[in-house]
Amino acid sequence: MVARVIPVEPFDLVIFGATGDLARRKILPGLFHRFRAGQMPSDAKIIGSARSEMESAEFRTLVGAAIAEFVAPDLRPQDQLDAFLQRLDYVHIDATGDTGWDALQKILRPDTIRTFYLSVSPALFGAIAERLSTHAIATPQSRIVVEKPFGHDLESARALNRDLLRHFDEAQIYRIDHYLGKETVQNLMALRFANSLFEPLWNATHIDHVQITVAESLGVAGRGGYYDQSGAMRDMVQNHLMQLLCLIAMEPPSKFTPNSVRDEKVKVIEALDPVPLRDIVRGQYRTGRDNQSYFDDVENPDSRTESFIAMKLTVGNWRWANTPFYLRTGKHLRDRVSEIAVIFKDPPHNIFPNKMEGRKGNALIIRLQPDEGITLRTTIKEPGPGGMRLTEVAMDMSFADALGKDLTSQDAYERLVMDVIRGDQTLFMRGDEVEAAWAWADPMIAAWEEAGQRPMLYDPGSSGPEEALMLMHQGGRRWRPIGD
């Protein structure tokens, strides 16, 4: 299969924070891939901006080095890299000051769509939005992209929304959750709404429960300071896992338009029942053979921040009454795995009473990483003579095998940046969506803080604290193993 590349309109893209980690690792290499694929018009302009003083030539050298570091040699032919670097300029601006903005204004073309990518600390979002407006750099057609974290709680998220909405309309604001740019995550929508096979079964009558797991094998060493202020709930559940939950649980939108899709996602968040503390397990990894403890990694021996969380959620609506959703995410777990497992109920009547022992039942497993793909677990007859014995097989599809590696290896940032340029907000969070997710998360965080709860300790390389296994066992269910 060959990827269809639809070139975008001419654009001027300004990246604030262009010398930072995210820009060097993801945004600029992603843009280079799109340039190579022929999606970028030949007169596209990419303007890097940061506090550091440097000439455009120096910035091109920096970007060339970043691409050399983060793009495989066979994917960066020198002539194409040189041509891409020619598209780059640099303007030095301290976002909190008033110099440099006029220089930026001069580089931008009057009739070209302007996109401002704020790859900087959220503390600077308001200052940059304001200056883009007061220096008349932002036009009614401009777009502004903001990175996570979008707030620390409902109040701070509201403040960020207010700061942005003072100068930009909601239709101009693109709040990134890079999980939504993953191929498999978008495939969730295709799977559910472009097939007639699953939708009739997609409800509490047929689905026993849903498990969403995002497990990391590494700890937080190196970014402990940031992580300890946040924890698994704020860093992962309120945003990434919530987005996955929404795509699994939402009603079919009437159209595939940004607001139809996002309206349905907001309804899911608003339908979530409050989660009592007894249905939440928080953990912290302890010292292992090859790692320090969480306390050492964050250099805070009294930390009560969780590096692991598991919880049981219920969605209070007709479709999902009595079908729990189990969410689990953490650091230093057995393997690096992200998946959604939809576990179906047993058939209503069993005609093989003695043949089903140990059978786990039908499940649809959607793998986000590694090896993006879909597995359908089905029961079949064990082959061979000797009567009717049943066994389970996995109908397994790896997207890379089925569609080719080139088509499936696109990074989320590549897709998302091009969506912004095209003006498609479907894969970006709307302001009310982020606020609804914080309104759901805040009372839980307040409850465990008020209770003075300490996270349970777990062994690095394990599946998290025992209590997380019990959370599932209480309902007579089991987590899928993390990794093989």
* Residues with active-site annotation: 240
The count of other CB atoms within 10 Å of the CB of residue 129 is: 24
Distance CA 238, CA 229 (A): 14
Distance CA 183, CA 407 (A): 9
Is 381 annotated as contributing to ligand binding?
A: no
DSSP 105-150: HHHS-TTSEEEEEE-S-GGGHHHHHHHHHHTT---TT-EEEEPSP-
| DSSP H helix total and E strand total for the chain | 18, 15
Between residues 226 and 256, which has the closer beta carbon with respect to ligand NAP? 226
Does position 94 interact with ligand NAP (CB under 6 A)? The reply is: yes
Q: Which of 7, 10, 51, 445 binds ligand NAP (CB under 6 A)?
A: 51
Between residues 219 and 465, which has the closer beta carbon with respect to ligand NAP? 219
Cβ neighbours of residue 450 closer than 8 Å, sequence gap 6 or more? none
Q: Which of 53, 48, 41 is nearest to 7 (CA)?
A: 41
Is 225 annotated as contributing to ligand binding?
A: no
Contacting range for ligand NAP; rule: CB under 6 A; set: 120-128, 201-209, 241-249, 426-434: 120-128
Is 235 annotated as contributing to ligand binding?
A: yes
Q: How far is the CB of 25 from ligand NAP (least distance, A)?
A: 6
Terminal-to-terminal C-alpha distance of the chain: 30
Does position 122 interact with ligand NAP (CB under 6 A)? The reply is: yes
Q: How far is the CB of 21 from ligand NAP (least distance, A)?
A: 4
Distance CA 465, CA 306 (A): 11
Cβ neighbours of residue 276 closer than 8 Å, sequence gap 6 or more? none
Contacting range for ligand NAP; rule: CB under 6 A; set: 19-27, 165-173, 182-190, 284-292: 19-27
Q: Which of 331, 276, 327 is nearest to 468 (CA)?
A: 327
Distance CA 360, CA 375 (A): 14
Residue 377 bridge partners (DSSP): 363, 394
Radius of gyration of the chain (CA): 24
Between residues 191 and 236, which has the closer beta carbon with respect to ligand NAP? 236
Phi-psi region of 315 (alpha: psi -120 to 50; beta: other; left: phi over 0): beta
Q: How far is the CB of 282 from ligand NAP (least distance, A)?
A: 22
Distance CA 429, CA 437 (A): 11
Does position 120 interact with ligand NAP (CB under 6 A)? The reply is: yes
Distance CA 461, CA 343 (A): 25
Q: How far is the CB of 180 from ligand NAP (least distance, A)?
A: 13
Q: Which residue is nearest to ligand NAP (CB)?
A: 20
Is 361 annotated as contributing to ligand binding?
A: no
Between residues 64 and 324, which has the closer beta carbon with respect to ligand NAP? 64
Does position 251 interact with ligand NAP (CB under 6 A)? The reply is: no
Q: How far is the CB of 24 from ligand NAP (least distance, A)?
A: 8
Does position 86 interact with ligand NAP (CB under 6 A)? The reply is: no
Q: Which of 22, 113, 261, 420 binds ligand NAP (CB under 6 A)?
A: 22
Does position 119 interact with ligand NAP (CB under 6 A)? The reply is: yes
Is 19 annotated as contributing to ligand binding?
A: yes
Q: Which of 17, 253, 431, 465 binds ligand NAP (CB under 6 A)?
A: 17
Sketch the per residue contact string, 131 through 170, with ligand NAP: x for CB under 6 A, - otherwise.
Answer: ----------------xxx---------------------
Number of residues that bind ligand NAP (CB under 6 A): 23
Contacting range for ligand NAP; rule: CB under 6 A; set: 87-95, 151-159, 410-418, 474-482: 87-95
The count of other CB atoms within 10 Å of the CB of residue 423 is: 16
Residue numbers belonging to the annotated binding site: 17-24, 51, 148, 178, 182, 216, 235, 331
Point out which residues bind ligand NAP (CB under 6 A). 16-23, 50-52, 93-96, 119-122, 124, 147-149
Residue numbers belonging to the annotated binding site for NADP(+): 17-24, 51, 148
